[in-house]
Structures are given as structure tokens and as C-alpha cells.
């Protein structure tokens, strides 16, 4: 019987921030301090901060940080994640799911207007291997507006990152292939709505993107767009290359 062994060489991505966008990273709980594990899950409304931004969570069943999956669990219908008021007009919000998330969970973005939650985008279905994009209706894009992500179906949602885009900001590059485990070489293409794309495979040295990137070993690709001196948020995907051996002796 063939033994399949996965060798994952993690490539650390250096922290970087750009004034045009906000990235809320829920793949680590070091700063947020969410309750960890399902047994410690909470329901009551509580505010958490990463030292720069804060979010307020409330759940109908439970919210907590999934320690092995490295994501924020939020469930179920009626559960909310409320953002802080931003000083710039928000035009779009992206919510990244996970490989184990529900394919049926429904979510949407609401604005809190005079104490009432008003839907300001189009409801989405599914969070498995998806980054859901919510374009904010123009009449609700005023600076200082309080936005809220709501679970609108009887399912849990799993969140790894949330990207907030302001008016005039650049959209982060998209990847033609989502990260995961692969058994053969991949060619990854990057696209951006505007500007030039710069990418890195070590999180530090960025080069201008001109052609598809060949991935033949475990690699994390990070990329951002730049135009007229403005930079987008960094988007990244990790590609894990698997090795197989006929026997333990071969290993």
C-alpha cells in the first residue's frame, strides 16, 4: 500500500498594511482573545479588539475561535458580527470562508440605521472555499455608518478574513487557483481590476507580475495591486505540494 505523506513548509508572510483598506484576520487569536474551542463558546454580545480595530459578536447558538482550523465560528441564524464605524465610505466588504464551511449558510451585510438593521447588499449562499463579496448600496456608503455581518439561515459560518474596501481604494488581486493540497505542478494566474500587480513568494521581496507563476513546491504567494501611488490590501494563497512514497523503506 502506498503511503502518502504531506510535507508542508510554511512560509511566513510579513505584516503589511495599506491605508486604503482594512483586513481583519481571524486565522490567529493571539490579539483578538476570542473564546477558544466549542466548549468555551459564548452567545452574549461582546466586543473584541486586535489592538487596531474592534468587532462585536453575538450568537444565537455560539461563537468561538476554532483552534485547529484557525477560523472564527459564528452560528446560527441571527448571529452577528458588527464592525466599527469607519472614517471613510465603505464600498465593498469581502468575507472569506474555509474548506470545511457550510455550502448552504446564508449571509448578508446590514447597516444599523436608527437602531434598525437594514440589508445593504445581496445575500449570499455558501462559505465553503468561497470569499463572498458584498457591494454596499451607494445610498449606504456614508463614512461613519455601522455595518453588520448577519447569518441569515440555520447554519454556522466559518470566517478566516474580512476585507473592507473604502471609496477610491484598489481591489486586491485575485488568484486563478485557490490554495490547497496539490499533487502536480500548478500555474497560478493573478488578475486585478486596476493597477499593476506585485507578488512575493517569501512575504518580503515583491516583483511585478508579468506571467503565470509556476508552483512546484509548497509555496505561499502574496500579491497586491498598485496604481498612482496607492496600494491595495495583500491577498495570499498557500499551495501545499504532496509527495508519495511506495513504501516506508523508500521514505
Average pLDDT score over the chain: 88
Handedness of CA 79, 81, 85, 91 (dihedral sign): negative
10 pLDDT above the threshold of 90: no
Residues 6+ apart with CB under 8 A from 45: 56, 57, 58
* pLDDT over 70, % of the chain: 88
The arithmetic mean of pLDDT across residues 130-146, rounded, is 94
Instruction: Give the whole-angstrom CA distance, residue 50 versus residue 197.
Output: 28
Instruction: Give the whole-angstrom CA distance, residue 235 versus residue 228.
Output: 19
The predicted structure's pLDDT at residue 229: 81
Return the higher-pLDDT residue of 28 and 230: 28
Instruction: Give the whole-angstrom CA distance, residue 206 versus residue 203.
Output: 8
Note the pLDDT tens digit of each residue in 152-165.
Answer: 999 999 999 999 98
Note the pLDDT tens digit of each residue in 44-64.
Answer: 999 999 999 999 999 999 999
Note the pLDDT tens digit of each residue in 202-236.
Answer: 888 999 999 999 999 999 999 999 988 888 878 88
pTM of the model: 0.67
Instruction: Give the whole-angstrom CA distance, residue 84 versus residue 55.
Output: 6
Residues 6+ apart with CB under 8 A from 62: 38, 41, 42, 43, 73, 75
The predicted structure's pLDDT at residue 109: 98
Report, in this order, helix, strand and coil percent for the chain, each rounded to 5: 0, 45, 50
The predicted structure's pLDDT at residue 172: 84
Contact present, 29 and 64 (Cβ < 8 Å)? no
The predicted structure's pLDDT at residue 18: 35
Residue 157 grid coordinates: 459560518
Contact present, 57 and 48 (Cβ < 8 Å)? yes
Instruction: Give the whole-angstrom CA distance, residue 138 versus residue 152.
Output: 22
Note the pLDDT tens digit of each residue in 69-114.
Answer: 999 999 999 999 999 999 889 989 999 999 999 999 999 999 999 9
- Residues shown for the chain: 251
**Of 182, 99, 91, residue with least CA distance to 133:** 91
Q: What is the dihedral of CA 192, 198, 199, 204, to 10 degrees?
A: -140
Strand order in the sheet with 131-135: 21-25, 161-166, 90-96, 131-135
Residue 80 grid coordinates: 452577528
The arithmetic mean of pLDDT across residues 26-39, rounded, is 97
Other CB atoms within a 10 A radius of the CB of residue 103 amount to 12
Amino acid at each position: 500500500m502506498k503511503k502518502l505523506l504531506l510535507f508542508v513548509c510554511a512560509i511566513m508572510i510579513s505584516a503589511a498594511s495599506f491605508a486604503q483598506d482594512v483586513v481583519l484576520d481571524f486565522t490567529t487569536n493571539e490579539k483578538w482573545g476570542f473564546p477558544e474551542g466549542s466548549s468555551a463558546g459564548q452567545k452574549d454580545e461582546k466586543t473584541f479588539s486586535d489592538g487596531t480595530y474592534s468587532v462585536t459578536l453575538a450568537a444565537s447558538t455560539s461563537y468561538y475561535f476554532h483552534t485547529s482550523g484557525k477560523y472564527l465560528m459564528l452560528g446560527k441564524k441571527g448571529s452577528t458580527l458588527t464592525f466599527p464605524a469607519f472614517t471613510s465610505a465603505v464600498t465593498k466588504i469581502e468575507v472569506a470562508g474555509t474548506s470545511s464551511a457550510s455550502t448552504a449558510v446564508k449571509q448578508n451585510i446590514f447597516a444599523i440605521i436608527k437602531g434598525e438593521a437594514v440589508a445593504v447588499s445581496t445575500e449570499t449562499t455558501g462559505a465553503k472555499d468561497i470569499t463572498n463579496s458584498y457591494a454596499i448600496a451607494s445610498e449606504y456608503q456614508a463614512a461613519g455608518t455601522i455595518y453588520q455581518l448577519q447569518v441569515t439561515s440555520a447554519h454556522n459560518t466559518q470566517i478566516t478574513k474580512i476585507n473592507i474596501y473604502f471609496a477610491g481604494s484598489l481591489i486586491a488581486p485575485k488568484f486563478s487557483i485557490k490554495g490547497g493540497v496539490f499533487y502536480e505542478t500548478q500555474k497560478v494566474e493573478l488578475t486585478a481590476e486596476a493597477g499593476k500587480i506585485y507578488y512575493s513568494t517569501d512575504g518580503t521581496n515583491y516583483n511585478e507580475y508579468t506571467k503565470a507563476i509556476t508552483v512546484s513546491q509548497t509555496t505561499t504567494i502574496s500579491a497586491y495591486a498598485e496604481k498612482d501611488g496607492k496600494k491595495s490590501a495583500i491577498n495570499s494563497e498557500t499551495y501545499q505540494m504532496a509527495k508519495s512514497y511506495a513504501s516506508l523503506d523508500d521514505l
